[in-house]
Structure 1
């Protein structure tokens, strides 16, 4: 039965895991975001309780 022959599938499995673990993380870690987030103001908003009319 050809399904039990591990020769081509084992090589494909190992090669694909090599790509996922060695090449792709390096490409992702080099990526720079085009828009760096700017810090928001540190002013806190006024949190007033809301009295519900039906309770």
Structure 2
């Protein structure tokens, strides 16, 4: 009989899914109503004239 124990499990090897944050439309670009300009966590960029701010600070 072979005397070899079963391999143990590792506790590492997990990473969260990327959130795809950042600027989506840059200066001078023409955008349509409802376009996402920036995805952010917290209000790093504040909305200007004729721009709204979503629930997730988009």
Which TM-score bucket, shorter chain as reference? Answer: under 0.3
Comparing both structures, which one devotes a greater share of its residues to strand?
Answer: 2
Higher helix share: 1
Give the TM-score of the pair, scaled to structure 1: 0.23
Report 1 or 2 for greater relative contact order, CA contacts < 8 Å, sequence distance ≥ 6. 2
